[in-house]
Structure 1
Amino acid sequence: MSENKSEVLAGGIVLAAAAGFLFYMGQVAGLSAGTSGNYDLTASFRSAEGISVGTDVRLAGVKIGTVTGMSLNPETYRADVDIAVLDSVELSEDTSILISSEGLLGGNFVELIPGGSPFNLEAGGEIEDTQGSVSLISLLVKFVAGDAAE
């Protein structure tokens, strides 16, 4: 009978650890309960390389939202990106958005740079000042080609 108790206890510990792991993964992936504290914005990028749905949206290095959707606009051939931003963060209508890199080996994230307009973006608004991702390979090719020309 004592073996059964120890087996039940070990099974309970394993189940608790699995539940804790799943909860942690949900928090990391941004799947927290309820997204009612967000408002949606859109932006159109020439190149959205390096980001996907779930990518962090940051302001001054602090995560304030996530990328919620991406699609190709068939008329402009640009990447239309939908983001969700915390309700507590009010962005001016001249806010800039760009795709930044965490470093040479790090991933990309979406960075917001607030402007100085007294008017704020409304839910569903579009951020017009965009800068797409910069390809590290193309930068290296330009550097090598420019260095060889001199």
Structure 2
Amino acid sequence: MGHSREAGTIVFSFAVLAVTAGFTLYARSTQTDHGAPRYPLSAEFVSANGLKRGADVDIGGVPVGRVSDIHLDTKTAMAVVRFEVNDTLHFPTDSILSVGSATMSGDNALMIEPGTSQQLTKAGDVLANTREPTSLEQQVSNYIFGNGGLPPE
């Protein structure tokens, strides 16, 4: 009698391990570039200074994608930034895109401030509402003399 109970416990333990391993793999896959499906977008900047390939794309300080490519459009002398955003996330096409860092020490990210347009982004869109990257000096002085980056009350 005691023998079959032991076998049941072993089978149950293996099932728990399998579920745990499966969940770990799932959680890891959603954190890598191969996990969540993404769709491509691009934006033109006068300067993409400080932005690197592989940089985060942030909305409200939360990473929602990655910069996949940065190149110069030789006709317009604009920096073209290609990036991918999580497939579940479509934001207004008039959103403001800027290069910056949420923290003084962090790496620069492509930051998106959602706009108000009814039209939402779709794969292949080129977003035109871009802002110049502020220099580190400008960021520091805004932080010191401004309101510390907090919205006015």
TM-score, normalised by the number of residues in structure 1: 0.66
1:106 is displaced (CA, Å) by 2.8
Please, which runs of 5 or more residues in structure 1 have no aligned partner?
Answer: 1-26, 141-150
Q: 1:32 maps to what in 2?
A: 32
Q: What is the letter of the counterpart of residue 87 of structure 2?
A: D
Alpha-carbon distance, 1:132 to partner? 2.6
Indicate the residue corresponding to 1:55 in structure 2. Answer: 55
For 1:134, the equivalent position in structure 2 comes to 134
Q: Could you give the per-residue CA deviations for residues 55-90 of structure 1, whole angstroms, max 9, x where no partner exists?
A: 000111111000000101101111100010001111
Q: CA deviation at 1:47?
A: 1.1
In the TM superposition, structure 1's runs of 4+ consecutive aligned residues that sit over 3 Å from their partners are 102-105, 137-140
| Corresponding letter in the other structure for 1:109 | A
Q: How high is the TM-score relative to the length of structure 2? A: 0.65
Measured in 1, the distance between the counterparts of 2:139 and 2:36 equals 41
Q: Call closer, same or farther: CA 1:68–1:139 in 2, change over 3 Å.
A: closer
- Where 2:83 maps in the other structure, the secondary structure is strand
Aligned pairs for 1:94-105 (under 5 A) are 94-105=94-105
- Taking every aligned residue pair, what percent have the same amino acid on both sides? 28
1:44 matches 2:36 = no
Which residue does the alignment assign to 1:69? 69
Task: Label 1:120 to 1:50 Cα distance change in 2 as closer, same or farther (>3 A).
Answer: same
CA contact (8 A) 2:96 2:112 kept: yes
Distance 2:135 2:112 in 1: 19
The two structures, once aligned, show a CA RMSD in angstroms of: 2.7
